[in-house]
Amino acid sequence: MAIDSNHAPMCSGALSVYEQRVLGALCDALLPKGSAVLPGAAALGIAGDIEALLGRLHGQPRWLVRAMLLGFDATALLGRPPELFHRLDLQRRRRWVEDSRTSRLRPRREALGGLEALVQLAYASHPRVSALIGYDGRPLVPLGPAGPPRPVDLPVIRYPDVTDAKIVADVVVVGSGAGGAVAAETFARAGLDVVVLEEGPPVQRDDVVGSRPVDRLFEFYRDGGLTFTLGNPVISLPMGRAVGGTTVVNSGTCFRTPEAVLASWAASGITGVDPEGMEPWFESVESVLGVQPVPEEVLGTNGQIMRRGAEQLGLSGGPIRRNIRGCHGHGVCAFVCPVDAKQAMHVSYLPRAAAAGARVFSGTRVRRVRLRAGRAAGVIADVLDPLSGRKRGTLQVDARATVLAAGAVFTPALLARQHLAGSSRQLGRNLVIHPGAGTTARFDEPLEAWRGTMQSYYVDEKLADGVLLEATFPPPGLGYSAGSLPGWGSDTSLFALYPHMAACGSIVGDAGVGRVGPLGRHGVSIRYNLTRQDATKVLEGIAMAAEIFFAAGAVEVYPMLPGLDSIRSASEVRHVREGRWRPSDLHLSAYHPMGTARMGADPSNSVVDPFGSVWDVPDLFVFDASVLPSSSHVNPQITIMALVARMAARLADSLT
């Protein structure tokens, strides 16, 4: 899809009167009044809440929602008699929604899926619904009388403290996420003068504590999390946009790169990335981040259930290793940790970099790399107003080395916009994303599975085949847990059983079939088609999760496949494996874009050398997820940080 990524201030009038009508009609059809274990959408003003959330975005995401409303309304013209959806009576609207779920017309299914996710998000995070299902956001382990630790000090420069300016540094780093922050710290501690330019806002503890997870979704995710791949199927691909990058909103899971993956990279000629060579870099990153297995007291029922089922079946797994210090189990890790227990970049590497002299800017969106005599010489950035997102000035940074760490989607787009780094024809290609599906299960007993760490227990029994399972339970409405309930919208009684649900996500080691490119002035297009082999891995992940849940005592599992809304026993799991499902039948999300400026030993088939130096442009470097030569097969942040620590140390040596 196309992304154009500024936040705008809250404003009314995000939708036309016609669009409001379609949205209201859909909300009513999904959550009608009177079906009520829980109140209906109209009683809660859900359509208005959605419009207010959309008012915080502008550009492509809002346009996309409007297109889905228009498109879905028009699909009912295919009915008998033809009529716009919003003009149908309630009964026919409900039937149209049900039929749309299994329609052979993909755009009809996908428009409903996208809109339904928005309705779910607004509904489940409504304070009255949260209260009725018992979600109060309290941590599993209460904070002591002293409350949370003091916020970590990270000075950030932004408009109006900077407008038009020209500054000089040894190194400029574009992006402050997993790659950018580790690089900045390495340079600053080597005594180099470092400038970090980040487009997103800084995290302020007071704003986080007083807000709901859904508010943080719209503040710290790019385009409020409404970023998708275009292809078959459409896949949700959220990314962070903040000082600290996606690490601010990630789940904190810390796997080392599997040895087989490192060995394959080394075998391709990239020296030094074999398991032995990488060991010191993993150790160094893990010690800065306090990586440790999830402590028992914050594992939560979701993790306990996964462990019970996996042990029953004899599957290999364990509590996930995470970057935490003093975790209380709020379970909102992917919506900014409210007590800074998760060692995201804004509380770990960036403060260390700043303490060593690095200057960190926020609201500075790099537009282009400056070139002098064919060499990179710094960057030009737009200075953005944090309230309106409008451009207020231009910042020029002159530097001896220019490091791009804007992530695997925006780094290649930035380069391609200037026709740089294209000689191998690999720039923007080889996109892997770890597509995966969420599986939800219902238990007789109440679990309140949201209490405890959000991502808690893994099963790696089939990692070698590209399937990894992770017990993950996000807050209601945010993520796949509630989305994986069949017809939840039209049956609030099922939603009322939310406290009885457990959930598990899968990630699939995919083969590299996507492509990223620039679109317009700041946007990107992300194309990705799931292969049949990868679809089979997704189905295996759903089947394994279902077996684990039944072994742990589940009464019903929701695989969310067309015509297979729920299964009630382990013997029925075979329907998941044996069904003739197509990629377009799968509801997928992905969180790990990688590989779009891959490193290699041969300039004819890679974009950067084994130390991140762009083959085509001297003094230009890529230090982020783009450089991974292939899928990491596990959550990639430790892989990215360790590779960057290694590359940055080498660059720092050459500059000092």
Show which residues are catalytic: 592
Count of H helices and E strands in the chain? 20, 20
Cα 250 to Cα 254, 549, 592, 611, 627: the distances in Å are 11, 25, 10, 26, 20
Bridge-based pairing state of the strands 228-229 and 235-236: antiparallel
Which of 54, 184, 270, 334 contacts ligand FAD by CB under 6 A? 334
- Told to check if 329 binds ligand FAD by CB under 6 A, we report no
How far is 444 from 596, CA to CA, in rounded Å?
Answer: 46
- Please give the residues from 442 up to 471 whose contact with ligand SF4 meets the rule CB under 6 A: 453-454
**Does 317 contact ligand FAD by CB under 6 A?**
no
Host H or E run for residue 393:
strand 391-404
Among 20, 251, 348, 424, binds ligand FAD (CB under 6 A): 251
Residue 452: strand pairing partners = none
Please work out, in degrees rounded to the nearest 5, the angle formed at the alpha carbon of residue 135 by the alpha carbons of 131 and 137.
120
The interface mask with ligand FAD, positions 450-469, x = CB under 6 A, is -----x--------------
Site for ligand FAD in 393-452 (CB under 6 A): 405-408, 410, 414
Q: Which is nearer to ligand FAD, 249 or 576 (CB)?
A: 249
Q: How many residues does the chain have?
A: 656
Q: Per CB under 6 A, does 246 bind ligand FAD?
A: yes
Specify the residue, 426 or 626, whose C-beta has the smaller distance to ligand FAD. 626
363 binds ligand SF4 (CB under 6 A): no
Q: Does 346 bind ligand SF4 (CB under 6 A)?
A: no
Q: Which lies closer to ligand FAD via its Cβ, residue 57 or residue 497?
A: 57
Piece in contact with ligand SF4 (CB under 6 A), picked from 161-169, 321-329, 358-366, 461-469: 321-329
Could you tell me which of 55, 70, 77, 74 has the C-alpha nearest to residue 8? 55
- Residue closer to ligand FAD (CB basis): 44 or 118: 118
CB of 472 to ligand SF4, least distance (A): 12
**Judged by CB under 6 A, does residue 328 bind ligand SF4?**
yes
Q: H-helix or E-strand containing 587?
A: none
Within 268-379, residue ranges assigned H as helices are: 275-289, 300-313, 349-355
Question: Distance between CA 15 and CA 61 in Å, rounded?
Answer: 12
Residues 6+ apart with CB under 8 A from 607: 412, 421, 424, 426, 427, 597, 598, 599, 600, 614, 615, 622, 626, 627
Q: Is 337 in the site for ligand SF4 (CB under 6 A)?
A: yes
Instruction: Give the DSSP per-residue string, 99-148.
Output: HHHT-S-HHHHHHHHHHHHHHHHHHHTSHHHHHHHT-----SS---TT-S
Q: What is the DSSP string of 204-271?
A: -HHHHHTS-HHHHHHHHBGGGG--EEBSSS-EE---B-STTGGGGGS--B-PPPPHHHHHHHHHTT-T
Count CB atoms within 10 A of the CB of residue 524: 24
Backbone Cα Rg of the chain: 24
User: Is 241 an interacting residue with respect to ligand FAD (CB under 6 A)?
Assistant: yes
Distances (CA, A) of 278 to 247, 467, 652: 21, 24, 18
Partner interacting with residue 307 (select from ligand SF4, ligand FAD, none; CB below 5-8 Å by kind): none
* 238 contributes a contact to ligand SF4 by CB under 6 A: no
> Do the strands 165-174 and 391-404 form a parallel or antiparallel pair, or are they unpaired?
parallel
Q: Assign residue 618 a region: left if phi > 0, alpha if psi is -120 to 50, beta otherwise?
A: beta
Closer residue to ligand FAD in complex, CB, 245/559? 245
What is the Cα–Cα distance from 597 to 160, expressed in whole angstroms?
A: 34
Choose, by CB under 6 A, the member of 32, 55, 331, 600 that binds ligand SF4.
331
* Residue 339 contact among ligand SF4, ligand FAD, none, beta carbon within 5 to 8 Å by kind: ligand SF4
Q: Verify binding: residue 108, ligand FAD, rule CB under 6 A.
A: no
Cβ-based nearer residue to ligand FAD, 31 or 413: 413
Cβ closer to ligand FAD: 507 or 557? 507
Sole binder of ligand FAD in the list 55, 245, 309, 541 (CB under 6 A) = 245
Q: Which amino acid is at 233?
A: P
Report what 453 binds from ligand FAD, ligand SF4, none; CB cut-off 5-8 Å by kind.
ligand SF4
Contacts with ligand FAD in 573-592 (CB under 6 A)? 591-592
Rounded CA gap, 646 and 654, in Å?
13
What is the closest distance, in whole angstroms, from the C-beta atom of residue 538 to ligand SF4 in the complex? 26
Answer with the entry of ligand SF4, ligand FAD, none that 359 interacts with (C-beta below 5 to 8 A by kind). Answer: none
Residue nearest to ligand FAD (CB): 177
- Residue 180 interacts with ligand FAD (CB under 6 A): yes or no: yes
Residue number, 347 or 551, with CB nearest to ligand FAD: 347
As given in the structure block, the two tokens for residue 422 are: 């294209």
- Contact string 344-373 vs ligand FAD (x = CB under 6 A): ---------------------xx-------
Among 68, 341, 437, 524, binds ligand SF4 (CB under 6 A): 341
CA dist., res. 204 & res. 181, Å (int) = 18
Q: Which is nearer to ligand SF4, 339 or 468 (CB)?
A: 339
Question: Between 453 and 484, whose beta carbon lies closer to ligand SF4?
Answer: 453
Residue list 250-269, contact with ligand SF4 (CB under 6 A): 252
Instruction: Decide which of ligand FAD, ligand SF4, none touches 250; Cβ closer than 5 to 8 Å per partner kind.
Output: ligand FAD
- Does 201 bind ligand FAD (CB under 6 A)? Our answer is no
3-state secondary structure 519-582: ECCCEEEEEECCCHHHHHHHHHHHHHHHHHHHHCCCCEEECCECCECCECCHHHHHHHHHCCCC
According to the binding rule CB under 6 A, does residue 545 interact with ligand SF4? no
Q: Which two tokens stand for residue 215?
A: 């508010």
Q: Which residues are near ligand SF4 by CB under 6 A?
A: 252, 324, 327-333, 337, 339, 341-342, 453-454
Q: Which residues are near ligand FAD by CB under 6 A?
A: 174-180, 197-200, 238-242, 245-247, 249-253, 334, 365-366, 405-408, 410, 414, 455, 591-592, 624-625, 635-637, 640
